[in-house]
Amino acid sequence: MSNVLESLEQRLQEALGTTVIGMQPVVRALTIAVVARGHVLLQGAPGLGKTLLAKSFAAALGGTFKRVQGTSDLMPADITGVHVFDAERGDFVFRRGPVFADVLLVDEINRAGPKTQSALLEAMEERQVTVDRENYALPRDFLVIATQNPRDFEGTYPLPESQLDRFMLRVDLGYPEREDELAVLARYGEADAHARPHVGQVLTGEMLEAARAAAARVHVAPELAHYILDLAAASRSHAHVSLGLSTRGALALLRAARIVAGMRGSPFVTPDDVKAVLPLVVPHRLMLAPEAVLEGVTEQAVAHRLLEQTAVPR
C-alpha cells in the first residue's frame, strides 16, 4: 500500500527535479492533487517558475498540456471553445478550446473577469463543459493548475468563493532559498528554460489507479472524521470568519490526509496527517470578515488558530 504512493511521489520528485529547483513541497502538493483528482492554485509573484513546473508536470503524467493567459478581455469561449460554420459540411462544428486537455494551466487567473472565471466552474467540478446546450466530456484525469498574483496587485479580480472552493489545494510560493536560486542561475543562465526539453512520462494510468486504490485502503477512524468536522465547525463560528469551511472542503481535507498517511506508510490517518495538509486545504476557503481584514488578520493565521483551539482526539 505505502510503496505505491511513496514510489509515485518519488518518481515525480526525481523527474521534476531535473527542471524545477527547490520546489519539493509544491511537487508533493501536486502529487496529492493528482491522486485525489483535485485542482491546485499556486499563489505567488510572477517569475518563480510556476509555468515551467506545470509544463513539466503535464509531461511527467504523459498528458496533453494547454495554457491560458488570464487577461481582462479573455472571454469564456476562449477557454471552452465555440461553434463555427463549416462551409464544406454546411453545418456548425464545435472547435474545442484549451480546456480539453489533461493539464490546463490558467496563468494569472485573477486577471480574468468574473464571467470568464466562471467558465471553469462546471469543468472543475463535473469534468465537462456545456456549450450551446450540448455537453462535452473532459479527460478523466483533467487537472487545473491555476496561478494567481497576490490580491493587492494592480488589475486583479478576486476569485469567487465557489471557484476557490473547487481548488483542492492552494500553495503559497515565496522566493527560493539562496542556494536554490544560485542553482537556477547556473542551470538556466545561458539558455531559455522553456526552450529546453521537458521531462519524459514517468507515470502511467495504471500507476495512478493503483495509488488511488492504495489511498482508499487507508483507514479513517470515526474519531478522526469527527475531528475534521470539529475543525470545520470551528471555522464557521470563528469571530474573524464570515464564511467557513464547506463540506467539500472537509472532504478535501480528509482525502489529502489519507494520501499523506499512505505516503508515509501508515495504514490509518492520524491527527498529525490532518495538521500537515490543513495549511494547503483550508486557508483559501476561509472568507474573512471585513473588520478582520482591516486588522491585518490572514487566512493562514486563522487556520493555525483553528488547530490550536480544536481538541485532538486520542
Half-sphere exposure of 5 (CA within 13 A, CB side): 30
The tens place of each residue's pLDDT in the chain, 314 residues long, gives 448 999 999 999 999 988 888 899 999 999 999 999 999 999 888 888 888 888 888 888 887 889 999 888 889 889 999 888 888 888 888 889 999 999 899 988 888 888 888 888 889 999 999 888 888 999 988 999 998 877 655 557 788 888 899 999 999 888 889 999 998 888 887 765 555 546 788 888 899 999 999 999 999 999 999 999 999 999 999 999 999 999 999 999 999 999 999 999 999 999 999 999 999 999 999 999 999 989 989 999 999 999 999 999 87
Residues contacting 15, CB < 8 A, separation 6+: 56, 60, 199, 200, 202
Put simply, whether the predicted model's pTM sits higher than 0.85 gets the answer yes
Q: Do domains 2-191 and 218-309 have the same CATH topology?
A: no
Cβ-contact 215, 259 below 8 angstroms? yes
13 Cα distance to chain centroid: 17
Give the integer Cα–Cα distance in Å for 111 and 149: 8
Tell me phi and psi for residue 294, to 5 degrees: -65, -30
Angle at which helix 50-61 crosses helix 24-36, to 10 degrees, equals 50
3-state secondary structure of 310: coil
Predicted local distance difference test score (pLDDT) of residue 141: 87
Cβ-contact 83, 95 below 8 angstroms? yes
Give the integer Cα–Cα distance in Å for 14 and 207: 16
The domain segmentation of the chain, as residue ranges, is 2-191, 218-309
Class of domain 2-191: alpha beta
Q: Which residues pair with 145 in a beta bridge?
A: 40, 105
> Domain 218-309 maps to which CATH number in 3.40.1160.10, 1.25.40.10, 1.10.8.80, 3.30.390.30?
1.10.8.80
Give the integer Cα–Cα distance in Å for 174 and 172: 7
Predicted local distance difference test score (pLDDT) of residue 1: 44
Q: Which residues pair with 268 in a beta bridge?
A: 219
Give CA separation, 88 vs 84, 97, 201, in Å: 12, 22, 39
Predicted local distance difference test score (pLDDT) of residue 2: 47
Instruction: Supply the Cα-derived Rg of the chain in whole angstroms.
Output: 20
Q: Which residues pair with 86 in a beta bridge?
A: 91
Predicted local distance difference test score (pLDDT) of residue 52: 84
